[in-house]
């Protein structure tokens, strides 16, 4: 369930829930069925009091008729027995991690902060050879902070990554997973070619897998970081994926709107 979809469900169910509540009150206070039937026959048309809370109030903030939310995914809904390895940031370029990925031909999705690429684009090109390289901001500023320059964080890094890798990202992972539901984030991301916002339901650090809920499931998305111990974390992730009866999958093949474009 995405953040934005979850919000729309709440909005959509709010009004029926209110009527259900009113209906419940009327039922409880009815004097008896026969008298009630006579009263109903003679009753004037029902006049409903105005709602105290305007329904769909949240839609008033929609800035444009053409606005549409970007899907936010924390776990893919798939019956395939796959889980997805994603690696964030890019500060450290651990050679042992690269060797492990190349040996296994692992499909990893690298969410990079553009400032970490520098002159070492080849490292990321190689480690994501079976996966893809995607956007994790320019400077790792929080998208939830209203002073953050979203145009720089999202759009500049789109250009920087296209220059470094030859193709423009179409997935975005906000730093700290924050601010994905802000209109500014969505509008800026759409304008600059982002079609999916990707979160996670499991993290791997210190060689340990930590789950948001329960256990790794088909479609689980694991979050790792380009740190000095990435090789150890990758091995832990692969072990946990296999222990759950799954195999590492290529995230870009599973997102509903996947269609990378080089423009
Ligand atoms: Zn990060």
Give the position of tokens 């480690």: 127
Residue 48 sits in the same domain as residue 77: no
Q: For the chain, what is the total number of helices (H) and then of strands (E)?
A: 8, 10
Q: What's the gap in Å between 143 CA and the centre of ligand 1?
A: 12
Q: What's the gap in Å between 225 CA and the centre of ligand 1?
A: 7
Q: What's the gap in Å between 153 CA and the centre of ligand 1?
A: 12
| CATH code for the domain in which residue 135 is found | 3.20.20.370
Question: d(Cα 248, Cα 173) in Å, to the nearest integer?
Answer: 19
Q: What's the gap in Å between 221 CA and the centre of ligand 1?
A: 15
Q: What's the gap in Å between 171 CA and the centre of ligand 1?
A: 14
Residue 108 sits in the same domain as residue 142: yes
Q: What's the gap in Å between 258 CA and the centre of ligand 1?
A: 23
Q: What is the mean pLDDT of each run of 10 residues along the chain (263 residues)?
A: 38 40 39 43 44 38 66 93 98 97 98 95 98 98 96 98 96 97 94 96 97 91 97 98 97 74 39
User: CB 42: neighbour CB atoms within 10 A?
Assistant: 6
Residue 117 sits in the same domain as residue 245: yes
Q: What's the gap in Å between 7 CA and the centre of ligand 1?
A: 25
Domain of residue 127 covers: 72-253
193: left (phi over 0), alpha (psi -120 to 50) or beta: left
Residue 44 sits in the same domain as residue 80: no
Question: Global pTM?
Answer: 0.74
Q: What's the gap in Å between 46 CA and the centre of ligand 1?
A: 56
Which of 30, 62, 57, 25 is CA-nearest to residue 43? 30
Q: What's the gap in Å between 224 CA and the centre of ligand 1?
A: 9
Count of domains forming the chain: 2
Q: 67 in a domain, yes or no?
A: no
Q: 125 in a domain, yes or no?
A: yes
Q: What's the gap in Å between 104 CA and the centre of ligand 1?
A: 25
Q: What's the gap in Å between 173 CA and the centre of ligand 1?
A: 8
Residue 14 sits in the same domain as residue 96: no
Contact yes or no for 260/252 (Cβ under 8 A): yes
Q: 262 in a domain, yes or no?
A: no
In the listed set 30, 60, 90, which residue is the last one of a domain according to the structure?
60
Angle (nearest 5°) at CA 212 between 2 and 227: 100
Residue 210 sits in the same domain as residue 100: yes
Residue 128 sits in the same domain as residue 44: no
Helix (H), strand (E) at residue 7: helix 3-29
Q: 134 in a domain, yes or no?
A: yes
Neighbours of ion ligand 1 (CB under 5 A): 88-89, 175
Q: What's the gap in Å between 254 CA and the centre of ligand 1?
A: 22
Q: 259 in a domain, yes or no?
A: no
Question: d(Cα 7, Cα 153) in Å, to the nearest integer?
Answer: 25
Contact yes or no for 129/103 (Cβ under 8 A): no
Q: Which two tokens stand for residue 256?
A: 């509903």
Q: 178 in a domain, yes or no?
A: yes
Q: What's the gap in Å between 130 CA and the centre of ligand 1?
A: 21
Residue 50 sits in the same domain as residue 86: no
Q: What's the gap in Å between 177 CA and the centre of ligand 1?
A: 8
In the listed set 11, 31, 60, which residue is the last one of a domain according to the structure?
60
Helix (H), strand (E) at residue 86: strand 82-89
Residue 45 sits in the same domain as residue 78: no
Please report the pLDDT score of residue 64 as a whole number. 62
Residue 81 sits in the same domain as residue 158: yes
Residue 50 sits in the same domain as residue 76: no
Residue 190 sits in the same domain as residue 239: yes
Alpha-carbon torsion 217, 218, 219, 221, what sign?
Answer: positive
């Amino acid at each position: 369930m995405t953040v934005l979809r979850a919000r729309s469900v709440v909005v959509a169910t709010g009004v029926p829930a209110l009527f259900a509540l009113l209906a419940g009150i009327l039922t409880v206070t009815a004097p008896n069925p026969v008298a009630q039937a006579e009263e109903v026959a003679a009753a004037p048309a029902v006049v409903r009091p105005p709602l105290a809370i305007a329904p769909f109030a949240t839609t008033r903030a929609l800035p444009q008729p053409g606005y549409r939310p970007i899907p936010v995914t924390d776990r893919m809904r798939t019956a395939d027995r796959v889980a997805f390895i994603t690696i964030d940031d890019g500060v450290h370029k651990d050679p042992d991690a690269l060797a492990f990925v190349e040996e296994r031909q692992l499909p990893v999705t690298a969410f990079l902060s553009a400032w970490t690429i520098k002159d070492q684009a080849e490292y990321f090109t190689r480690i994501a050879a079976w996966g893809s390289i995607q956007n994790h901001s320019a400077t790792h500023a929080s998208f939830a902070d209203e002073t953050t320059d979203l145009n720089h964080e999202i759009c500049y890094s789109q250009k920087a990554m296209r220059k470094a890798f030859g193709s423009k990202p179409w997935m975005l992972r906000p730093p700290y997973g924050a601010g994905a539901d802000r209109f500014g984030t969505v509008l800026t991301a759409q304008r600059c070619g982002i079609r999916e916002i990707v979160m996670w339901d499991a993290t791997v650090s210190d060689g340990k897998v930590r789950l948001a809920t329960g256990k790794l499931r088909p479609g689980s998305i694991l979050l790792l970081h380009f740190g000095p111990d990435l090789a150890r974390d990758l091995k832990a992730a692969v072990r946990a994926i296999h222990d759950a009866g799954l195999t590492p999958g290529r995230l870009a093949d599973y997102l509903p709107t996947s269609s990378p474009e080089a423009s």
